[in-house]
Structures are given as structure tokens and as C-alpha cells.
Homo-oligomer: A and B are copies of this chain.
Amino acid sequence: MAKAKRTLKWQRDPEGMRLRILEAAKQEFSAHGLAGARVDRIAAKAGANKRMLYYHVGNKDELYLAVLEGAYDKIRSEERGLDLEHLDPPEAIRRLIEFTWNYFLRNPEFLSLLQTENLARAKHLKKSTKVKSMHSPFVEMIRTVVRRGVESGDFQVAVDPVQLYISIAALSFFYLSNSATLSVIFGRDLLDKKAKDERLAHMVGLVLAALTGQSVALFEIAKAPKSRAAVAQTV
């Protein structure tokens, strides 16, 4: 009460409101998909009136696209922060895998949004001029890392960087985005600490072994799960 002015019925804050709306929309769309998302819930979550969504962003579809573009924007900008140029090739690849894995872990909504958009066959993304111009810097990074690796003799073969990029993303993405069904099927929790550590070790080991021809130390960890079975538990 005793704060600055006295509490008015409401204050203006267009920028803040827009951000809160987009954040709420991100939550809602990633939790329920496009069709399952409820405009009213987004409004409520943003502490706003439903009319505000239309006023500040647009209708449901525009809202969704804005969220999607924001998500791409965010990952691309983080990707740019990671420079692999000065690392030796195997270390650069390891770093890349770790970044991808951790980014997905820290931003589960990103995974959900991509799933949702792919379910829609990228119908919305195709309309976005924004996203099409945001190339991932990774592909070129990988290209030079691979070239350096081959030249130095660290890597036994030159892979197509796009394929490698997709594979690295795939190994993390699928594990995390499908962890719910996989956990049911395998009857164990794929998201507990130990399982996650093992997964990261496995991925790094797999990719580096393929590139260098030598199985990496970390790969071995996954190898002999001394079989008090890796489990830990689910549901």
C-alpha cells in the first residue's frame, strides 16, 4: 500500500504486457499444442484480458507464429555465442553435442513447439519470412570443424555437415521429446539424473567414435552398466 503512488486500478505497460502475453502463449502452446491451446487461458496466465492478445499480437494463429519465431530466435542467438573455432575438432564436436543437449533440457517448450509445428507440416513456419532468414550458424561451424579434423587426422572421414547436424540434434531431441512414451515402454524414468548423464555420455561416445574411429572413454561408461540395472524409476 505504502508504495510509490497509490495503487491505481491499472497501469499502462504495453511492452511488459506484450512480453507477458508471449510468455504465457509459449507455455500454453507448448503444453497443449495449437488446437489444444486456449486463448482464454493465455490471457489469464498473462494476467490480462483476452482482448489484449488481439490488441498486442493478433489472433490465435498470429500469436502462435510469434511464439514460434521467438523460440527460433532464442536458440539461434545462443548458438552464435558458442564458438568452436579455437577448439580441436573432437573437443568441438563434444562441445556441440553438450550444448544441444543442455539447450533442449533447459528449454523443453522449444521441443514441444517444434513437434507441434511439424505435426502441422510447418504450415505456419513456411509463412514466416523471419525464420527463413535465420540460418543456424552450426552448419558452417561443423563444416570447418570436420575439414580441420580430417586434415589433422583426428577424423577418419569427412561427413556431410548437414547430416551430422541433424544427427546430433536427433540424438538429443528424440530422447527428450519422446521420453514420456519411452519411459512407459521401458518401464523406467529416462529423465532422472543418472539416466541423463548416461545418455549424454552415450551420444558423445557414439558420434566421436564414428568420427575418430576410436571409442571414447565416456562411451565406455554406458557400456558396462554393472547391471544393478540402470533403473531408478518412474511413475
- Whether the pair A215, B157 counts as a contact (CB closer than 8 A) is yes
Selected contact of A159 from candidates B156, B185, B223, CB within 8 Å: B223
Selected contact of A171 from candidates B35, B170, B186, CB within 8 Å: B170
Q: A160 — which chain B residues lie within 8 A by C-beta?
A: 198, 202, 222-223, 225, 230
- Whether the pair B122, A183 counts as a contact (CB closer than 8 A) is yes
Selected contact of A132 from candidates B34, B125, B126, B187, CB within 8 Å: B187
Question: In the bound complex, what is the Cα–Cα distance between A173 and B170 (angstroms)?
Answer: 8
Is A166 an interface position by the 8 A CB rule? yes
Is A178 an interface position by the 8 A CB rule? yes
Question: In the bound complex, what is the Cα–Cα distance between A32 and B131 (angstroms)?
Answer: 23
5 intermolecular pairs with C-beta atoms under 8 Å apart: A118-B181, A139-B186, A157-B209, A160-B223, A163-B199
Q: A33 — which chain B residues lie within 8 A by C-beta?
A: 33-36, 116, 119
Question: In the bound complex, what is the Cα–Cα distance between A235 and B183 (angstroms)?
Answer: 31
Question: In the bound complex, what is the Cα–Cα distance between A217 and B36 (angstroms)?
Answer: 47
Q: A44 — which chain B residues lie within 8 A by C-beta?
A: none
Copies in the complex: 2
Q: A131 — which chain B residues lie within 8 A by C-beta?
A: 184-185
Is A103 an interface position by the 8 A CB rule? no
Find the residue from A33, A169, A207 having the highest chain B CB count within 10 A. A33
Other than the known A115-B119, A117-B180, A210-B215, what 13 A-B pairs have Cβ atoms closer than 8 Å?
A: A33-B35, A33-B36, A35-B36, A115-B177, A120-B180, A125-B180, A131-B184, A156-B215, A170-B174, A173-B174, A206-B210, A209-B213, A213-B213
Q: Nearest chain B CB to A36's CB is how many angstroms away?
A: 3
Selected contact of A119 from candidates B116, B157, B198, B205, CB within 8 Å: B116
Selected contact of A210 from candidates B32, B119, B178, B209, CB within 8 Å: B209
Contact with B along A195-213 (1 / 0, CB 8 A): 0001100110111011101
- Whether the pair B223, A157 counts as a contact (CB closer than 8 A) is yes
Query: Which residues in window 116-145 of A have CB below 8 A to B?
Result: 116-122, 125-126, 131-132, 135-136, 139
Is A1 an interface position by the 8 A CB rule? no
Contact with B along A98-117 (1 / 0, CB 8 A): 00000000000000101111
Query: Residue on B with the closest CB to A163?
Result: B202
Is A61 an interface position by the 8 A CB rule? no
